[in-house]
Amino acid sequence: MERDRRDLLEKCLLFDKLSSAEIEAVLEITSVVDYKRGDVIFQKDEVGEALYLILEGSVRVSVILDSIGEEVIAILREGAHLGEMALIDRGPRSATAIAHEDSKLVRLDKDRFDELLHQDQMIELKILRNMVRAFTSRIRDTDQSLTFLRFTLRKE
C-alpha cells in the first residue's frame, strides 16, 4: 500500500518534480480513507479542508440542481485528484464528490499541508507552481467546453 501511495504521488501533476525525499515528506502527512459506493466524500458549499487522490476506484463529481436533481460534472478514476483548491483556501466546495464505486482515496489535510510548506519553502515553490499548471489546464478545458456549448446552442 505504501508503494502504491508513493507511485500515485509521483504520477500526480501536483507533485511533479519533487525529489524522493520531498515525496516522502508529503507521504508522511497523508492518510488512506476507504469509501463505499455512494458515500459522500464532500458536499458542495462545505468548507474545503483536504485534497484527495484516487488510489483505487472512482469518484463522481456532481452538483445537485433543484429542477433536475444530480448533474454529473465528471467521473474521476484512479490517479486523478480532486479538491485541490482546499489547499489554497478554505473556501466552499464547488461541487459534491461521491464514491462512484468502492474506493480508496489518499487524503492530504490542509493544516498538515500548510505545516509542511512552512517547514520547506522548496516544496512550497514546486507544489504551488504545479497547482498553477493544474488550474491553468482546467481553465483551458472549461473554456473549450463553454466554446463548444455556445456553438451548439447557436445552431439550435
What pLDDT is recorded for position 155?
63
Mean pLDDT of 17-21: 94
Concatenating the DSSP letter of every residue in 54-107 gives EEESEEEEEEEETTTEEEEEEEEETT-EE-GGGGT--PBPSSEEEESSSEEEEE
User: Which residue carries 458542495 as its cell?
Assistant: 44
**Tens digit of each residue's pLDDT (9 = 90 or more) over 96-109:** 999 999 999 999 99
- Split at pLDDT 50, 70, 90, the class of 3 is confident
**How many residues in the chain?**
156
Mean pLDDT of 22-44: 96
Per the structure block, which three cell numbers stand in for 31?
A: 492518510
- Split at pLDDT 50, 70, 90, the class of 149 is low
What pLDDT is recorded for position 18?
95
**Tens digit of each residue's pLDDT (9 = 90 or more) over 134-145:** 878 777 877 776
List beta partners, residue 103: 35
CA 49 to chain centre: 11
Q: In the predicted model, what is the mean pLDDT of the chain?
A: 89
Find the helix or strand (DSSP H, E) in which 33 lies: strand 30-35
What pLDDT is recorded for position 148?
61
Concatenating the DSSP letter of every residue in 131-151 gives HHHHHHHHHHHHHHHHHHHHH
Kindly tell me if the per-residue pLDDT of 1 is higher than 90. Answer: no
If one counts every other C-beta atom within 10 angstroms of the C-beta of residue 83, the result is: 24
**Tens digit of each residue's pLDDT (9 = 90 or more) over 74-124:** 899 999 999 988 888 888 999 999 999 999 999 999 999 999 999 999 998
List beta partners, residue 92: 47
